[in-house]
Amino acid sequence: MGGLDTYLQRFSQSQAPLSDQHLAAAIRSLPGGGYASLPSSGRRRWLEELLAVVDDRSAGAGPSSGVKPETVAPSPRPAASAAKKRTRPAAARQAVQTVGQASLDSPVSALKGVSRTTLSRFARLGVHTVHDLLFHFPYRYNDFANIRPISQLVVGEEQTVLATVWSAAETTIGRRSKGTEAIVGDETGKLRVIWWGQRYIARQLRSGAQVALSGKVSVYRGQRQMESPEYELLASDDLIHTGRLVPVYSLTKGLWPRVVRRLAREALDSFADSVPDPMPPELKERLRLWSLPYALRQMHYPDSMETAQMARRCLAFQELLTIQLGVLKRRRAWQESGRAYPLALSQEALDGFLSSLAFTLTQAQRRVMDEMAADIGREVPMSRLLQGDVGSGKTVVATVGLLAAVASGCQGAMMAPTEILAEQHYRTICALLGDGGERILDGGAFQPPYMEKPVRVVLLIGSLRGKEKAAIQEAIARGEVDIAIGTHALIQSEVAFPRLGLVVVDEQHRFGVMQRAALRAKGLSPHMLVMTATPIPRTLALTVYGDLDISLIDEMPSGRKVVKTIRALPHERDEVYGFVREEVAKGRQTYIICPLVEESEAIAAKAAVQEYEHLARDVFSDLRLGLVHGRVPSAEREAEMRAFRDGNLDILVSTAVVEVGIDVANATIMLVEGADRFGLSQLHQFRGRVGRGEHQSYCILQADNPSQEAQERLSLMETIYDGFRLAEEDLRLRGPGEYFGTRQTGMPDLKVARLSDIDLIERARAEAARLLKADPPLALPEHRLIERQVSHLWERITAEVS
């Protein structure tokens, strides 16, 4: 009563505990006419400054620096910007670990009114401690500021109504499904509400109760209704008053939204301030990040959608910084724990090699070669990821690296995921060195004119006879072998390389980390080049593969024929088969990829067998068909692939599980069944298996039952031939989860951050590098907490990978 001026007058006369110097100063700063005499902008400014002080006084609830956090999280609160720069009292900064007996690490039951059953329900969500609860974030908010009367509900939109329950009962909907049907009303009308399968709700909604309902409005028999909305009994609840934005948490059976909300609130009130903030103060200050307690509060009970968004960005940044620190530390550890041999190829030798090729390198190949040469010339072991679309010519680049190793008196190793690919690399490299295989000397060595000494190349794979294998292993151990090519068994086996200079890993980027660990365990620290044709969008490259330097071949050799890509509908299948037949009649070969079966590899294999039998019996009974899938033992699988490579099969039926990474120049058709179920990147990989020879090739995308959306997605395949652009489209259209099908090994799961937070990822990367430069072991007191967080994260990931 009497407005703010009267209030302030009373306040300053009382002995209120908050009437400290800041408040007193704020009150004194008012002009003679008091608050009422300020213009509206002045009022706002004055109040905001005051609020910022109050925020800070209440135990660290305010922005850490009271400065507008514009760098990472643009502030909608000019509040802070106006505030004078203050430092928080030491007492507030020092985290209080315990409140009474309870601490952050206490079980959730340390909070009021948590029963054993509630505790076990939380456990199912992975929430065990108070700390877990504070980091169990809402996935969205109900906006109770935006409540609509029933009469104004719009069909098709998410909305919230406040209403009284008229009736609620269990009901049978349709023929079999049971659920709850309720009729609710407000002064403007009534609404039918349905929950499928949730009969217990009927017992909760007593008639006369006040409820808030949030959900989508649909029309059923001409009447508007809400289906399975979020609901909240309002009887004794103060939610509407506590905030206009009410958090919605993921729940588990028997855990009620209101219980989680109440407990989250309580946890925030009692414990948020004791959460240790791992962010180094300097960083927080410079990037104007919110203090962790304040971000936590705004994450659970935001003042507005903007503050919720900002809180998310602050927390996401912290998460990403932890990942980046881990990734960069791992890289540094690899680089520092061992010395590699410096490798170099003389200009004459390089020119000699290049002029022996039937083609000239593309600009991109040259650039990548230079990047590699700069790395391997040093003692710091290289960790480089070489990305390049299928057919972009990565092998030649790798070969130059291997030659540099040989020229420097070292050994080179090249590993492929399967034996047949290892064989293929062996042939390719022999051909590259032997000028078509004509200059083979005794003992499998080549004497290319540009190399000083003969180069001995061996293929080491599991299917070799025991004696042969032992002989090769011994030759490697004696240092007589210059280049060894094989599967990853090459490194995991007993083979000892006395002078390993460079390891090239083809198409196994996911295991790169493990292989490196295996090498390190043997006391080796060679340079490492990991090659992949799987396009990795930049954000992933920075996170998942963040400890590798990246080289990109973004240019295809000229003169390549474009693989014609054609979409086919179910009724065109016969025509497609006819076309396959025509090509086979011309002596060409076809791959047929079976539809993706999600359930299990066993089921996928069964489906592939059925498809194969159907094709072999009913469609191509006169042709030679082969089959490969994940359940076929690898020796048999390789035999089948070899038969296809050698032209003894016309058609190879395969599941997607099998990496058909072989180079068969005579194959001209890639027929993908159920194409709508694959991601664009994967389709592009399939497509890359054809068009490798002189013949015009085709990729036929046979869709089962394509929706409009799927058709549009598939049509991108007809226009985009760049794997990287397709990958980005894929990531955009389907999100990272779908993009990779399954979770990536070694990928930290992101709780708050998203892979689309590109700016945050890059920022975190830069800041992590900066921190590590200043304090490599993160040993300074202000880095201790974040260091601990980093080690926790990597312990978890390492446990997962190994």
Q: Applying CB under 6 A, which residues contact ligand ADP?
A: 359, 361-362, 365, 388, 390-396, 533, 557
Identify the CA nearest to 254 among candidates 377, 159, 118: 118
Nearer to ligand ADP, 34 or 557 (CB): 557
Q: How far is the CB of 393 from ligand ADP (least distance, A)?
A: 3
Q: How far is the CB of 396 from ligand ADP (least distance, A)?
A: 5
Question: How, if at all, do strands 455-460 and 223-227 pair?
Answer: unpaired
Nearer to ligand ADP, 533 or 651 (CB): 533
Identify the CA nearest to 724 among candidates 555, 566, 564: 555
Q: How far is the CB of 694 from ligand ADP (least distance, A)?
A: 11
Residue 160, classed as helix, strand or coil, is strand
Closest residue (Cβ) to ligand ADP?
Answer: 393
Nearer to ligand ADP, 375 or 389 (CB): 389
Nearer to ligand ADP, 395 or 590 (CB): 395
Q: How far is the CB of 346 from ligand ADP (least distance, A)?
A: 22
8 A C-beta contact, residue 486 and residue 415: yes
Nearer to ligand ADP, 136 or 394 (CB): 394
Nearer to ligand ADP, 361 or 639 (CB): 361
Q: How far is the CB of 368 from ligand ADP (least distance, A)?
A: 11
End-to-end Cα separation, the chain, in angstroms: 68
Residue 698, classed as helix, strand or coil, is strand
Nearer to ligand ADP, 314 or 369 (CB): 369
C-alpha distances (whole Å) from 265 to each of 64, 104, 296, 311 are 21, 14, 11, 16
Identify the CA nearest to 247 among candidates 757, 72, 276, 259: 259
Question: How, if at all, do strands 223-227 and 210-220 pair?
Answer: antiparallel
Identify the CA nearest to 388 among candidates 488, 220, 258, 533: 533
Q: How far is the CB of 533 from ligand ADP (least distance, A)?
A: 5
> d(Cα 134, Cα 104) in Å, to the nearest integer?
9
Burial zone of 679 (CB within 10 Å; 0-12 exposed, 13-18 middle, 19+ buried): buried
Tokens at 276, concatenated = 């240790």
Q: How far is the CB of 747 from ligand ADP (least distance, A)?
A: 24
C-alpha distances (whole Å) from 355 to each of 450, 538, 744 are 10, 34, 41
In what helix (H) or strand (E) does residue 500 lie, and over which residues does it extend? strand 500-506
Distance of CA 654 to the CA centre of its chain: 28
Q: How far is the CB of 333 from ligand ADP (least distance, A)?
A: 30
Q: How far is the CB of 692 from ligand ADP (least distance, A)?
A: 7
Q: How far is the CB of 556 from ligand ADP (least distance, A)?
A: 9
Q: How far is the CB of 784 from ligand ADP (least distance, A)?
A: 45
User: DSSP state, 346?
Assistant: -
Nearer to ligand ADP, 391 or 462 (CB): 391
Nearer to ligand ADP, 413 or 764 (CB): 413
Return the residue matching tokens 């010339």. Answer: 377
Identify the CA nearest to 555 among candidates 729, 372, 722: 722
DSSP assignments along 71-107, one per residue: TTS--S-HHHHHSPP----HHHHS---EETTEETTSB
Residue 195, classed as helix, strand or coil, is strand
Nearer to ligand ADP, 378 or 427 (CB): 427
C-alpha distances (whole Å) from 641 to each of 128, 418, 644, 648, 651 are 51, 11, 5, 10, 11
Identify the CA nearest to 247 among candidates 158, 308, 317: 308
Nearer to ligand ADP, 427 or 784 (CB): 427
Nearer to ligand ADP, 247 or 393 (CB): 393
Please state the φ and ψ torsions of residue 89, each to the nearest 5 degrees. Answer: -60, 145
Return the residue matching tokens 């289906």. Answer: 227
Identify the CA nearest to 384 among candidates 555, 551, 552: 551
**To 5 degrees, how large is the angle CA 300–CA 303–CA 304?**
100
Q: How far is the CB of 364 from ligand ADP (least distance, A)?
A: 9
Q: How far is the CB of 365 from ligand ADP (least distance, A)?
A: 6
Nearer to ligand ADP, 148 or 427 (CB): 427
Nearer to ligand ADP, 620 or 724 (CB): 724
Q: How far is the CB of 608 from ligand ADP (least distance, A)?
A: 25
Q: Quick count: other Cβ atoms within 10 Å of Cβ 483?
A: 26
Q: How far is the CB of 373 from ligand ADP (least distance, A)?
A: 17
Nearer to ligand ADP, 196 or 359 (CB): 359
Q: Quick count: other Cβ atoms within 10 Å of Cβ 107?
A: 17
C-alpha distances (whole Å) from 235 to each of 39, 112, 345, 403 are 42, 20, 80, 78
> d(Cα 453, Cα 456) in Å, to the nearest integer?
9
Angle, helix 40-57 to helix 21-28, in steps of 10 degrees: 170
Nearer to ligand ADP, 414 or 500 (CB): 414
**Helices then strands (H, E): number in the chain?**
29, 24
Q: How far is the CB of 615 from ligand ADP (least distance, A)?
A: 28
**To 5 degrees, how large is the angle CA 180–CA 168–CA 256?**
65
> d(Cα 260, Cα 108) in Å, to the nearest integer?
11
Nearer to ligand ADP, 265 or 588 (CB): 588
Q: How far is the CB of 626 from ligand ADP (least distance, A)?
A: 23
Please state the φ and ψ torsions of residue 388, each to the nearest 5 degrees. Answer: -170, 135
> d(Cα 290, Cα 273) in Å, to the nearest integer?
13
